[in-house]
A and B are shown apart, each in its own frame.
Chain A
Amino acid sequence: MHDIATNFINLDAITILYLFGVGFVGGLVSGFIGSGGAFVLTPGMMSLGVPGLMAVASNMCHKFPKALVGSMKRFKYGQVDVKLGVVLGISAEAGVLYGATIQERIKAAYGDAGSNLYVSVAFVVILATVGGFVLRDAWKTYKSGNSNSEEKAGKLARWVQSINIPGTMVYFKALNARVSILFTIPLGFATGMMAATIAVGGFVGVPAMIYVLGAPSLMASATELVIAFVMGLGGSLKYAMHGMVDIRLAMIILGGSLFGIQLGAIGTTYVKPFMIKVVMGVIMVIVLFSRGLMVPVYLAKLGLIEKMSDSTVSLLKTSSFAIMIFALMLGAFIVLRAMWQGRQAERLQQASGALEHEQI
């Protein structure tokens, strides 16, 4: 049973600017790779003194409107497969509820330190495996010199698309193929569970759509925004029913992120598709180190390793946070730079008359 939250932090100009700024950068990255920002926003709010669950709840309440605006923008660019997003979103919602229940049980049994350790270990495992894989794949594409060519579905995705289970097959535009929902259900569920656990479902959802289902990167990252909307709305309702949402925090972050997400969405139209994998992989691998630094802190708190001095804990916490901010800023920088280069190239082409102008 949750008590009605009474712990609303004081908002001053610095706090508002900070939340707006982090919201903007988070939105920019989200608009581009379909997820992200949340894993900085939640600890970001907590470092302001917002209780953990309230930070998660307020983040969710900014996530679904942001995802709505982002997905609508990318829908205009033909990148969103609404059906795929909704189908995955439904099982993702179930995953969120299940993941949240596990979180609550761990917290009840092992306290804050135990809960934080669980979250951090999940981060490290997911980011190391998936992040490493995505980055390696982006590197292979870059080295092969085929970065401009149409993305082809990998071996695993082709196998998944070849499986025909009567009565469960659904056609998805993004895949240009029918797949069984017996594949989409666990993928969506895993995405939701991750969202409830580490606040970023997209780190499972987007690679799953690309590598397991065979969706092109641009469509996977765009469709993820639909899943984020469904999950965010469901999750927000659940938390709001327990009075956990600080609407001021949610709306201030939204203030910045709506600027960012539109910019990120526009950015996707200028870059080569494999850049999605680059940005995603880079952020995931750097955040891996950020979270990894906190694991010993929680282990020490739980008494599983030797106790640490306060100054060591403080150093690790500060380093962890700084690395996380760096990951997000680097991601944003890569997005903006790629966009800038894309626009410059297009301007040059227009100037030299290479693009056909419409005749009056």
Chain B
Amino acid sequence: MAQISTKKKPVGAMIVMGIISIALYTTLLLKQDLLNENFAKGGWFALLPIITAFVFSYFHGSFTGSFWTVLGVEASKKKKEVK
């Protein structure tokens, strides 16, 4: 199979992750009071903000990664000698 000279851009992945990310943020802002009430309870509820942070970082992190790749902003192709 012939190789394409330009890599295919992850537009699909970006859109999917972007939608999920927007959904997460919309929920965050619409349900502010409910979240603050429960997340500030302390004790075992402390896990709630931690888990939330991991969830956001997974989806939003994937989205932002694809975002830059789709825009063509990627690491240098030159192999840099780190040490």
Contact = CB atoms under 8 A, between A and B. Distances in A.
Contacts of B12: none
Report, as a range, how many residues of chain A touch the other chain. 35 or more
A243 B42 contact: yes
Interface string B34-48: 011001111101111
Given A8-B36, A218-B82, A355-B78, A65 B65 contact: no
A69 B40 contact: no
Interface residues of B, number: 42
Interface string A45-72: 0000000000000000110111011000
A76 B2 CA distance: 27
Interface in B15-63: 24-25, 28-29, 32, 35-36, 39-43, 45-50, 52-54, 56-57, 60-61
A237 interface: yes
A255 B39 contact: no
B2 to A, nearest CB: 7
A41 interface: no
A64 B67 CA distance: 21
Nearest to A242: B42
A318 B74 CA distance: 38
B24, B28, B64 — most chain A CB neighbours (10 Å): B64
A270 B79 CA distance: 10
B57 A254 contact: yes
A236 B83 CA distance: 34
